Amino acid sequence: MDAVYLEIREIARKIAARYPRPDFYIAYPSEVSESQHFYQSDTAIGRLRKEMIGRLDDDFGHGMGHVEKVAIDAGTLVIIECRLAGQAEYRVRRNLLMAQCAGLLHDICRKEKSHAEKGAEAARDILKTYPLVPAEIIHVSTAIRNHEAFIRPERPSVNQARVISDCLYDADKFRWGPDNFTHTVWDMVGFMNPPLDVFMDRYPKGMALLKKIQSTFRSRTGRRYGPQFIDMGIAIGEALYQVILTNYSDRFG
């Protein structure tokens, strides 16, 4: 990555550090901890995690760091949503497994056109050797197919599938908050290495997409807590934009 981007990334991370943890993590500490523990201890998830390490990279900011956060947050959301619905604990655990599988697999075809659709197909093949029944594999692949922003999702007729799908989408879009400016943007910049003037020309469009995503959260919990993630991302992005204009204007026309 060019030295100027390393400087700007450090500024962005300092701006982001001024903000507290999003309320989602404060409101549900036990569910977050439960999802984290499952992620670290479940044998199927452990096996899938190792498989994904060899198949993902950070070129577009959607490598292991990204998918692990999505998997854990999707699991947390599933725990919350399923218990609000009064589901049996066995069902909560099966849904947690599916949500974390979906989180780990959702960007497996990130660099390909129609990556959500192709990722869903790849996930079906990969999960054939994992301890999921055929219907559960379909639920995971449907969630992956539905995770892309600004595309009309398929609405599964089975409630269980809808929960997995909605929670994966929301956990993925949580990353459009502070994570966008602490990690994702810089992973993409490091791969594409655009001139700073090109980066700044594209910046307003990226900010407009952040604002547009704010109203798209799908689960009850996501609709309640997701907008705060985006508010933080917008505030960080706007502050960073002004810093670049002020301190780096000699680097672009």
The SS3 assignment for 57 reads coil
In angstroms, the Cα distances linking 175 to 76, 89, 241 are 15, 28, 19
User: Among the residues of the chain, which ranges form H helices?
Assistant: 3-16, 23-27, 29-41, 43-53, 64-84, 89-105, 115-126, 134-145, 159-174, 178-179, 185-192, 196-213, 220-247
Quote the pTM value.
0.95
Q: What are the residues whose beta carbons fall under 8 Å from the beta carbon of 67, sequence distance 6 or more?
A: 52, 56, 103, 104, 105, 106, 107
The pLDDT of residue 234: 98
pLDDT < 70 regions, the chain: 57-61, 253
**Domain of residue 86, CATH code:** 1.10.3210.10
The pLDDT of residue 58: 59
**Domain count for the chain:** 1
The pLDDT of residue 185: 93
Which DSSP symbol is given to 114?
Answer: T
Structural domain of residue 12, as residue ranges?
A: 3-251
